[in-house]
Amino acid sequence: MYQERSHPALVGLPMLVLGIALVIAVPACVITATNTGAPLLVAVGVICLISAIFVLAGLFVVNPNEAAVLQLFGDYKGTVRREGMAWANPFLTKRKVSTKIRSFESQKLKVNDLDGNPVEIAAIIVWKVVDTAEASFQVQDYEKFVQVQSEAALRNLAMRFPYDQHDDQKVSLRGHTEAVAGHLKDEVQAVLNQAGVEIMDARISHLAYAPEIAQAMLQRQQAGAIIAARKLIVEGAVGMVEMALERLDEHGAVHLDEERKAAMVSNLLVVLCGERAVQPVVNAGTLYN
């Protein structure tokens, strides 16, 4: 398994000056040899020419947020991350790898959630290369690898959770977006560690029921919301009735038998749980008429 290591590349500017000086020296040697008839200067000119080609061929530039992966006949020699002009053995192949933060939005995937309902889901993945050696040699194409594995993780995530859930204790795709995003990030990162890629963020960008069941599931959601709201209303109404009876007993303002208590409870529940405003009826007689 390859791990990134630094390569001791030389600063490029002095080598550039040296290369230019060698290039200038070539015609100077040829002209001097012609005028003086000294064949040794011709040999010096040839050596300067070969040296100039060698020096200038080893120059390369590393841009900001970029790295150069160096190989010698297929053997990994190291990575240069220092920005600017650098020089290394011209026989080294220099492959540029971007270390910028990048993002992509996955396709809208159609998958069944935990309850078996078909849903459409898509996500935005923010990532960058942190190990250039692994990104270059561990996978065929690290950009495509990130995309394919992210979509596979997203599909698997959607199958592990229900689309919606009225129980707050259970995680759902729609109701717990932060938790779902955390699960997605961890799952994608676990796969991409071998490719030298770090996941910066992962967010659900699209979530909806599949068109063929969207209308039916909307009615189901509305019914579930109504039931949940009714449950809360009834629990609150029962608590208010209990409090009313306890306060009446504490102050002794009215003494009610069991039958009248039942009637009072029934009336209070109708008032508190009814959808429409009630019309009060004033009893002009006694409580038992």
Top mean pLDDT of 87-101, 106-120, 229-243 is at 87-101
Give pLDDT, residue 286. Answer: 56
Give pLDDT, residue 8. Answer: 92
Average pLDDT (37-52) is 88
Q: Which amino acid appears at position 151 of this protein?
A: E
Average pLDDT (3-19) is 94
Give pLDDT, residue 36. Answer: 81
CB neighbourhood size of 196 (10 A) = 23
Distance CA 160, CA 180 (A): 10
DSSP β-bridge partners for residue 104? 125
Q: Which amino acid appears at position 218 of this protein?
A: L
Comparing CA positions, the residue from 163, 182, 188 lying closest to residue 173 is 163
Confidence grade of residue 259 (pLDDT, cut at 50, 70, 90): low
| DSSP H stretches of helix in the chain | 12-36, 39-57, 132-137, 142-160, 177-192, 214-251, 258-273
In this structure, are residues 236 and 162 in contact, taking their beta carbons and an 8 Å threshold?
no
Positive/negative CA dihedral, 158, 164, 170, 176: positive
Give pLDDT, residue 227. Answer: 73
Q: Which amino acid appears at position 252 of this protein?
A: G
Q: Please give the mean pLDDT across all residues of the chain.
A: 84
Distance CA 64, CA 81 (A): 9
Average pLDDT (58-77) is 95
With a cut of 70, say whether residue 106 has pLDDT above it: yes
Q: Which amino acid appears at position 194 of this protein?
A: Q
With a cut of 80, say whether residue 249 has pLDDT above it: no
Distance CA 201, CA 289 (A): 71
Measured over all CA atoms, what is the biggest interatomic distance in the chain, rounded to whole angstroms?
142
Distance CA 191, CA 201 (A): 15
Give pLDDT, residue 143. Answer: 93
pTM higher than the cut 0.85: no
Distance CA 196, CA 137 (A): 10
With a cut of 80, say whether residue 15 has pLDDT above it: yes
Note the pLDDT tens digit of each residue in 127-143.
999 999 999 999 999 99
Q: Which amino acid appears at position 204 of this protein?
A: I
DSSP class per residue in 74-129: TEEEEEE---EEEE--TTSEEEEEE-S-EEEE---EEEE-TTS-EEEEEEEEEEEE
Using CB atoms within 10 A of its CB, is residue 269 exposed (0-12), middle (13-18) or buried (19+)? middle
Give pLDDT, residue 128. Answer: 96
In this structure, are residues 122 and 105 in contact, taking their beta carbons and an 8 Å threshold?
yes
From residue 276, how far is each of 27, 128, 170, 232, 282 by CA, in Å? 103, 58, 33, 17, 19
With a cut of 70, say whether residue 202 has pLDDT above it: yes
Distance CA 45, CA 23 (A): 9
Distance CA 196, CA 136 (A): 9
Q: How many residues does the chain have?
A: 289
